[in-house]
Amino acid sequence: MTIDPSCSRTGEALLAAAGCPVPHHCDCDLTLDRIAVDRWEISLRSLRADAWVRKELSEPLGHCLGGSIIVDVLSADRFIKNARAQGFRIEFVGLGGKDLL
Protein backbone atom coordinates (compact mmCIF):
# COMPACT_ATOMS: atom_id res chain seq x y z
CA MET A 1 0.00 0.00 0.00
CA THR A 2 1.41 3.39 -1.00
CA ILE A 3 0.60 6.33 1.27
CA ASP A 4 0.68 9.86 -0.12
CA PRO A 5 2.80 12.03 2.23
CA SER A 6 0.71 15.09 1.33
CA CYS A 7 -2.37 13.43 2.82
CA SER A 8 -5.12 15.73 4.10
CA ARG A 9 -6.33 15.74 7.68
CA THR A 10 -9.40 13.78 6.60
CA GLY A 11 -7.15 11.24 4.90
CA GLU A 12 -5.01 11.00 8.02
CA ALA A 13 -8.10 10.38 10.16
CA LEU A 14 -9.26 7.63 7.80
CA LEU A 15 -5.83 5.99 7.85
CA ALA A 16 -5.70 6.17 11.66
CA ALA A 17 -9.20 4.67 11.94
CA ALA A 18 -8.13 1.82 9.65
CA GLY A 19 -5.19 1.08 11.93
CA CYS A 20 -2.55 2.38 9.51
CA PRO A 21 0.18 4.63 10.91
CA VAL A 22 0.05 8.17 9.61
CA PRO A 23 3.40 8.98 7.97
CA HIS A 24 5.52 12.00 8.76
CA HIS A 25 6.15 14.34 5.85
CA CYS A 26 9.38 13.35 4.13
CA ASP A 27 10.34 16.83 3.00
CA CYS A 28 10.38 18.60 6.37
CA ASP A 29 13.47 19.58 8.33
CA LEU A 30 11.91 19.65 11.80
CA THR A 31 8.82 18.19 13.47
CA LEU A 32 7.01 19.94 16.32
CA ASP A 33 4.87 17.45 18.26
CA ARG A 34 2.70 18.11 21.31
CA ILE A 35 3.53 15.48 23.93
CA ALA A 36 1.76 17.02 26.96
CA VAL A 37 -0.30 20.07 27.84
CA ASP A 38 2.81 22.20 28.38
CA ARG A 39 5.51 20.13 26.63
CA TRP A 40 6.49 19.98 22.98
CA GLU A 41 9.07 17.80 21.23
CA ILE A 42 11.13 19.23 18.38
CA SER A 43 12.59 16.41 16.26
CA LEU A 44 15.41 16.97 13.81
CA ARG A 45 14.57 15.39 10.43
CA SER A 46 17.35 16.66 8.17
CA LEU A 47 21.13 16.91 8.38
CA ARG A 48 20.90 20.64 7.69
CA ALA A 49 18.55 21.16 10.66
CA ASP A 50 20.74 18.99 12.87
CA ALA A 51 23.83 21.04 12.01
CA TRP A 52 21.97 24.33 12.56
CA VAL A 53 20.59 23.28 15.97
CA ARG A 54 23.97 22.01 17.17
CA LYS A 55 25.58 25.30 16.09
CA GLU A 56 22.85 27.40 17.75
CA LEU A 57 23.02 25.47 21.04
CA SER A 58 26.83 25.74 21.09
CA GLU A 59 29.19 22.83 20.96
CA PRO A 60 29.00 21.48 24.55
CA LEU A 61 25.20 21.36 24.67
CA GLY A 62 24.84 20.43 20.99
CA HIS A 63 26.74 17.18 21.48
CA CYS A 64 24.15 16.05 24.05
CA LEU A 65 21.31 16.05 21.53
CA GLY A 66 19.71 12.73 20.69
CA GLY A 67 17.77 13.97 17.68
CA SER A 68 15.05 15.80 19.60
CA ILE A 69 14.51 18.54 22.16
CA ILE A 70 11.70 18.82 24.76
CA VAL A 71 10.56 22.42 25.36
CA ASP A 72 7.67 24.47 26.73
CA VAL A 73 5.27 26.29 24.42
CA LEU A 74 7.05 29.67 24.57
CA SER A 75 10.42 28.10 23.76
CA ALA A 76 8.84 26.09 20.92
CA ASP A 77 7.33 29.27 19.48
CA ARG A 78 10.65 31.14 19.62
CA PHE A 79 12.55 28.15 18.15
CA ILE A 80 10.07 27.74 15.27
CA LYS A 81 10.21 31.46 14.44
CA ASN A 82 14.01 31.27 14.25
CA ALA A 83 13.90 28.08 12.18
CA ARG A 84 11.37 29.58 9.74
CA ALA A 85 13.60 32.66 9.36
CA GLN A 86 16.40 30.30 8.31
CA GLY A 87 14.15 28.69 5.68
CA PHE A 88 13.48 25.36 7.40
CA ARG A 89 10.28 23.43 6.67
CA ILE A 90 8.49 22.37 9.83
CA GLU A 91 5.83 19.73 10.34
CA PHE A 92 3.42 20.66 13.14
CA VAL A 93 1.64 17.75 14.82
CA GLY A 94 -1.22 18.92 17.00
CA LEU A 95 -4.58 17.72 18.22
CA GLY A 96 -6.18 18.47 14.86
CA GLY A 97 -3.65 16.58 12.73
CA LYS A 98 -0.50 17.57 10.86
CA ASP A 99 0.41 20.71 8.93
CA LEU A 100 3.53 21.92 7.18
CA LEU A 101 4.74 25.37 8.30
Of the candidates 30, 6, 10, 26, the residue with the CA atom closest to the CA atom of residue 84: 30
* Cα(20)–Cα(35) distance, integer angstroms: 20
Confidence check: pLDDT of 3 > 80: no
Query: Bridge partners of 91?
Result: 31, 100
Tens of pLDDT, residues 37-49: 889 999 988 889 8
Question: What is the average pLDDT score of the chain?
Answer: 75
Residue spans of alpha helices (H) in 1-101: 9-17, 47-56, 59-62, 73-85
Question: What's residue 99's pLDDT?
Answer: 66
- Give phi and psi for 32, each to the nearest 5: -110, 115
For the chain, what percent of residues have pLDDT higher than 90?
18
Query: Bridge partners of 39?
Result: 36
* Cα(23)–Cα(44) distance, integer angstroms: 16
Q: Is the pTM of this model over 0.75?
A: no
Instruction: Give residue 65's pLDDT band: very low, low, confident or very high (50, 70, 90).
Output: low
Cβ(91)–Cβ(34) under 8 Å?
no
Tens of pLDDT, residues 8-34: 556 556 655 666 554 555 578 999 998
* Cα(47)–Cα(99) distance, integer angstroms: 21
